[in-house]
Amino acid sequence: MNVKPDPASLKIERQVVGKGYAHDSARRHVRGEAIYIDDMPDLPGTLHVAPILSPVAHGKLAGVDTSNCAAAPGVVRVLTVDDIPGKNEAAPILHGEPIFADGLVEHQGQIIGAVVAQSLAEAIQAADLVKLDIEELEAVFDVETAFAANSHTHPTQHLVDGDAASAIADAQHRISGQLQMGGQDHFYLEGMVAYALPGEDREMLVWSSTQHPSEVQVHVALALGIKSHEVDVQVRRMGGAFGGKESQATIVAAIAALAANATGKPCRFRLRRDADMAATGKRHGFVMNYDLGLQANGRITGMKVEALANSGHVADLSGPVVTRTLTHLDNCYHIPAADFLGFAAKTNTVSNTAFRGFGGPQGIVATEAMIDIAARQLGLDPNEVRRVNYYGSETGEVTPYGQDVDDNRILDVVDRVMQNAEWDRRRKEIDAFNAENTILKKGLAMMPVKFGISFNLTALNQAGSLVHVYQDGSVHLNHGGTEMGQGLYTKVAQVVAEVFGLPLDDIKITPTTTGKVPNTSATAASSGSDLNGAAAFNAASAIKGRMAAFAAQEFGCDEADLVFANGQVAAGGQSMAFGELAHKCWFARISLSANGFYATPEIHWDGANLRGRPFFYYTYGAAVAEVVIDLLTGENRCLRADMVQDCGKPLNPTIDLGQIEGAFVQGMGWLTCEELWWDPSGKLRTVGPSTYKIPGSRDVPPEFNVEILDDKPNVHETVFRSKAIGEPPLMLAISVWLALRDAVSSLSGGKLAANLDAPATPERVLFAVEDMQRQVSELETK
């Protein structure tokens, strides 16, 4: 179902949509008054749950002795796989992804069971008393080892367009190599948590910190051996998620529900930070093997990439993550011949999962590295190489997977950011600085982003909503989207307020619940506003249509002459308050309630051949970053960042600016300071802020300039012609990583490419500096 323009609303200036309203919970956030699941007061009899985690990375689980644990103070029940009345299954797509380990453990930190006790402290202490009989097996931690053994969690994917091998072999220039990039922990402020309340018969109410209430509903029902209509899942807000609560929140919710079912008491299960980081998935780390053919002017003739993802021990969402990696290896560049292989390597680490960008950032990093390396090998400016390869009439406007780039705004954002960043002047100043300084070196880089919007799986591109208008004209709004701090609730409320011509305060935002809007998709893929905003638009428009028909009779006018604005309904010099009209409609027995539905049009995808139109539209952005590095320590800092982001016609530019800034800093963390480190036994050692460094306030660029591309409504029919914003700006942070490479390359006068993987920690920067100095020395001796 397509969103259609509302003729009445087009007669007046937008009243609510497009305005910079604050996040609906902003005041409560800063005052500490926003209620998260762990802030909910304990109901009488509430019990607390702690996990029993595997201490080894791979082994046969021969036995679980819970006798000492069960006798510990406060312990009410100990749960293992034998206590699951239904199915021991938590897989979002495939099968064989257990809630509790059953006969086999496959990573350190895997959940084997759970302790239910009177207090959280007692549950945690008792969990340490469980004796595990595990016969250790050989573990695999390296994706290349898994690739060589063809050990994967998801079938290998192969995107082929043209004859890349011949195009590369016949090219004037050829580069090949390997790039490695690490994963990233979500480090949401609110950890994983669920609160389960048993009801009558076998009913279960679950408050879950999840991006996907319907998936939690399905898996809780499976675990309990009941049907979905007996489970209600609710969430008002999450304290961050970033993809980490899309699929993996289901295990936490299922365990809370199992505990509540077993004890008949309300049960709260929240993971401590160290357990959360040990037991839950991350952004996929990748190894990229590449082979690229180019003409002398930098024009790409063919590209071949092996994208090897660290899936972890089970598939989770690795299949679609790898798909999005393959469909973003082109970024903004036309690739005449492409051969992209995607491999989800099975390793004995935690199962990796969705993370903001969902595989797209990894693909774009690889291509931007290739551009940088190729440009320096050819003696060209990297930006010149980018420009000769941009999608356009002179190169081509069809992606390797067969989708037309029919909304191209690459040059719009690139030219604008180059102007805003004063590129030419600063490039000369930085070159002069580097010539004069022997300890500090600066780098400057620009890069563009093209990011596809929609779930790769077509079926997920749907949403529902429920809207009620009460007799006083106030409005109740519910939809399938979840609020994790990104402002979705505010934006969707603005859409409904705009339809009815009401102030935003007249729209009541209510918790997402499977009992009101069923069969929802995850709030993910940057599609929350597109899908839920459109569904709410349709519901509100249906009610408005009924009210308009009645008002036209009252006023003796045509419906097309009615204007809903400022809380009034008017036509031809007559008017009445919206609340008065609502009461009159009720008295006339006109329904003031409607459910809305929206399904994204035009998209289709052949998952076997990786062909089709998986994305409804693209968003575009570009960034310029300036950094400085210390050659003696590898320490570095981003000094300035300039960004231009295509948001279509924003629903709320203030919230969008916050999303751009936050995404950029999070992306910068992934590429510079956030390093996941496992010891040789497979134990994750970076399990808290003391060992895992996320960006702090001092890591934010001191000069941070963000601009939303002006007056560029979406050419595709989205709600009020807006565009998605959640994920795309994260990839703009790749400019920081490229600027670090540029700073290292300055040691060779910019002629040699830096050997720098990601994250570019001070250690890696220092190693890259030493490698560059060695290369320069070797060239000088020749």
Residues 462, 481: Cα–Cα separation, whole Å: 11
- The candidate with the shortest Cα–Cα distance to 660, out of 617, 623, 626, 702, is 623
Q: What is the CA radius of gyration of the chain?
A: 27
Q: Name the 3-class secondary structure at 119.
A: coil
Catalytic residue among 727, 763, 770, 780: 727
Q: What is the dihedral of CA 422, 428, 433, 436, to 10 degrees?
A: -170
Question: Is the C-alpha dihedral spanning 283, 288, 292, 296 positive or negative?
Answer: positive
Burial readout 40-71 (b: 16 or more C-beta within 10 A, e: otherwise): eeeeeebbbbbbbbbebbbbebeebebeebee
Parallel, antiparallel or unpaired: strands 512-513 and 563-565: unpaired
Residues 742, 143: Cα–Cα separation, whole Å: 28
Residues 763, 767: Cα–Cα separation, whole Å: 6
The CA-based angle 254-521-608, given to 5 degrees, is 105
Q: Which residues contact 252 (CB under 8 A, 6 or more apart)?
A: 192, 193, 194, 208, 209, 269, 270, 271
Question: Which residue bears the tokens 């220039």?
Answer: 173
Cβ atoms 682, 57 nearer than 8 A = yes
Parallel, antiparallel or unpaired: strands 507-509 and 475-479: parallel
Cα separation values, 229 from 60, 204, 283, 519, Å: 37, 10, 33, 11
Residues 503, 506: Cα–Cα separation, whole Å: 6
Question: Judging by beta carbons within 10 Å of its beta carbon (0-12, 13-18, 19+), is residue 94 exposed, middle or buried?
Answer: middle
Amino acid at 406: D
Question: Is the C-alpha dihedral spanning 155, 246, 244, 735 positive or negative?
Answer: positive
What DSSP letter does each residue of 229-263 carry, written as one string?
A: GGEEEEES--S--TTTTTSTHHHHHHHHHHHHHHH
Parallel, antiparallel or unpaired: strands 462-469 and 593-599: antiparallel
Strand order in the sheet with 104-105: 104-105, 59-65, 131-136
- The candidate with the shortest Cα–Cα distance to 245, out of 36, 530, 509, 24, is 36
Residues 291, 174: Cα–Cα separation, whole Å: 7
Question: Judging by beta carbons within 10 Å of its beta carbon (0-12, 13-18, 19+), is residue 95 exposed, middle or buried?
Answer: exposed
CA atoms within 13 A on the CB side of 44: 0
Alpha-carbon 319 to chain mean position: 15
Q: State the DSSP code for 285.
A: P
727 is catalytic: yes
Q: In this structure, what token pair is assigned to residue 584?
A: 């009159």
What is the maximum span of the chain, computed from C-alpha positions, in angstroms? 93
Q: In this structure, what token pair is assigned to residue 673?
A: 């300071």
Parallel, antiparallel or unpaired: strands 267-270 and 231-235: unpaired
DSSP alpha helix (H) spans, 71-169: 120-127, 143-148, 164-169
Cβ atoms 707, 420 nearer than 8 A = yes
Amino acid at 104: L
Residues 360, 670: Cα–Cα separation, whole Å: 14
Q: State the DSSP code for 41.
A: P
Cβ atoms 208, 307 nearer than 8 A = no
- The candidate with the shortest Cα–Cα distance to 171, out of 289, 290, 292, is 292
Q: Which positions are catalytic?
A: 727
